[in-house]
């Protein structure tokens, strides 16, 4: 009996080690080390991301994100990151929508914060592993002092620039936990959405990522309310770093202000147009605009046509009840198919399959401003897009 027990004691660790190695083998890389195959550039520039020695490098400019081409529900994500400048800012999003939220450079989803230590800790945030829902997502924090829906880490474990840090993010059945450099310090639960895209965020500082890998776990039954918005085929027409892809007409007050396009319109009566180089036929479109009382009546002209112009007018009795207060962001979303136009404002249908006779078959997108105003999140999509590609 003593020898049997001894034999079991010798044999048991070997079984566990083999099982652990098998589990580790189930991880697969999320980047190929060469390019962004398997990922979607949402609202950043070609210059924002590059690979060096197999590492993903983010310049931090503009503020924006890339996301996976497909959704994930239950999984374990591991990665290493390091900030190359003090006070650098970045983040990892999970369970996110396909594109950015209204008036924001970020997606609705759950963010895992990636801040450099010199950024500093406050009552509202730390630099070592906060988790929080953003822009309409929800989560109940489990760790840290109670402050809204943000989960705070139980101890500080992140290393300052330029040292490497390791994150292990476990997402299962709406619960999320984060291990920083080998120890779980942050947890949240009852997350919604709980199936969606994984995003890497650019937010001002140069960041390196390596050994980014995922282990997928079996999905669980969930309702549609807990699934993020699936890929609709939108692509952004603005790089966030310059006006490439556009030409100006009229006043020269257009400026690229990171994720926002701004028209200054300093002189009385200033008016300017920004015209896309690309021309479009039947498309879906989204644009965000933040007019003020000095903005006049900004307009977006589809196919460059006065007949398919959407005017952001506080005096329009159809729009006024649904426009946010001056200075706040509004989202217009719609389609043009042939000579029929539909669009909504902040989720409320304004025009449905209305005739726009005489509109050309193709033409550019035109932003027209007659006073200081900000634009953002200018997206288009082809109408023959299935709407589900990348969902699974």
pLDDT of residue 128: 84
Question: Hey, do 28-228 and 246-382 end up sharing a CATH topology, with the first three levels equal?
Answer: yes
pLDDT of residue 98: 98
Vertex 343 angle, CA 352 and 260, to 5°: 175
Of 103, 108, 112, which Cα lies nearest the Cα of 230? 108
pLDDT of residue 229: 98
Neighbour order of strands in the sheet with 309-311: 246-250, 272-280, 363-369, 299-301, 309-311
Contact 275, 246 (CB under 8 A): yes
Q: What is the pLDDT of residues 204-219, one digit of tens each?
A: 889 999 999 999 999 9
Q: Which CATH superfamily is domain 246-382 in?
A: Exo-inulinase; domain 1 (2.60.120.560)
Contact 199, 93 (CB under 8 A): yes
Q: Is the pLDDT score of 267 beyond 70?
A: no
The residue count of the chain comes to 392
Burial 76-110 (b: 16+ CB within 10 A, else e): bbbbebbbbeeebbbbbbbbbbbbbbbbbbbbbbb
SS3 per residue for 304-318: HCHHHEEECCCCCCC
Select 28-228's CATH number: 3.50.50.60, 1.10.260.40, 3.40.50.510, 2.60.120.560: 2.60.120.560
Q: Is the pLDDT score of 14 beyond 80?
A: no
pLDDT of residue 326: 96
* Per-chain mean pLDDT for the chain: 91
pLDDT of residue 269: 62
Q: What is the pLDDT of residues 146-200, one digit of tens each?
A: 678 999 999 999 999 999 999 999 999 999 999 999 999 999 999 999 999 999 9
3-state helix, strand, coil split of the chain in percent (to 5) is: 10, 45, 45
Q: Is the pLDDT score of 351 beyond 80?
A: yes
DSSP 117: G
pLDDT of residue 163: 98
Residue 25's pLDDT band, with cuts at 50, 70 and 90, is low
d(CA 180, CA 232): 34
Domain definitions of the chain by residue range: 28-228, 246-382
pLDDT of residue 250: 79
- The bridge status of strand 75-83 relative to strand 207-216 is antiparallel
Contact 106, 231 (CB under 8 A): no
Q: Is the pLDDT score of 358 beyond 50?
A: yes
Q: Is the pLDDT score of 10 beyond 80?
A: no
Q: Is the pLDDT score of 18 beyond 90?
A: no
Q: Is the pLDDT score of 112 beyond 80?
A: yes
Q: What is the pLDDT of residues 210-250, one digit of tens each?
A: 999 999 999 999 999 999 999 999 999 999 999 999 999 87
């Amino acid at each position: 009996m003593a020898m049997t027990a001894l034999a079991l004691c010798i044999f048991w660790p070997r079984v566990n080690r083999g099982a652990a190695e098998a589990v580790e083998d189930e991880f697969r890389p999320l980047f190929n080390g060469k390019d962004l195959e398997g990922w979607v550039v949402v609202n950043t520039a070609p210059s924002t991301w590059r690979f060096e020695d197999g590492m993903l490098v983010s310049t931090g400019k503009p503020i924006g994100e890339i996301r996976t081409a497909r959704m994930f529900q239950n999984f374990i994500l591991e990665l290493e990151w390091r900030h190359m400048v003090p006070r650098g800012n970045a983040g990892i999003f999970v369970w996110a929508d396909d594109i950015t939220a209204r008036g924001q450079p970020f997606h609705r989803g759950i963010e895992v914060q990636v801040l450099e230590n010199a950024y500093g800790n406050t009552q509202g945030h730390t630099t070592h592993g906060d988790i929080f829902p953003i822009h309409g997502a929800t989560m109940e924090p489990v760790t840290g002092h109670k402050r809204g829906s943000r989960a705070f880490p139980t101890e500080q474990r992140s290393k300052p620039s330029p040292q490497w840090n390791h994150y292990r993010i476990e997402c299962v059945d709406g619960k999320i936990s984060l291990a920083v450099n080998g120890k779980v310090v942050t947890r949240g639960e009852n997350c919604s959405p709980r199936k969606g895209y994984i995003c890497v965020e650019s937010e001002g500082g140069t960041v390196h990522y390596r050994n980014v890998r995922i282990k997928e776990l079996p999905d669980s039954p969930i309702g549609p309310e807990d699934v993020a918005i699936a890929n609709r085929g939108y692509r952004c027409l603005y790089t966030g770093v310059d006006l490439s892809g556009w030409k100006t007409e009229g006043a020269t007050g257009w400026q690229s202000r990171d994720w926002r396009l701004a028209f200054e319109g300093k002189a009385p009566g200033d008016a300017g147009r920004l015209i896309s180089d690309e021309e479009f036929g039947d498309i879906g479109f989204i644009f965000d605009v933040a007019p003020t009382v000095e903005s006049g009546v900004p307009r977006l002209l589809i196919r460059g046509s006065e007949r398919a112009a959407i005017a952001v007018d506080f005096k329009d009795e159809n729009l006024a009840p649904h426009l946010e207060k001056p200075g706040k962001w509004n989202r217009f979303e719609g389609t043009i198919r042939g000579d029929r136009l539909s669009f909504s404002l902040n989720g409320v249908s304004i025009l449905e399959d209305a005739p726009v006779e005489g509109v050309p078959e193709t033409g550019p997108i035109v932003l027209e401003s007659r006073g200081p105003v900000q634009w953002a999140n200018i997206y288009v999509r082809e109408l023959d897009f299935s709407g589900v590609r990348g969902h699974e």
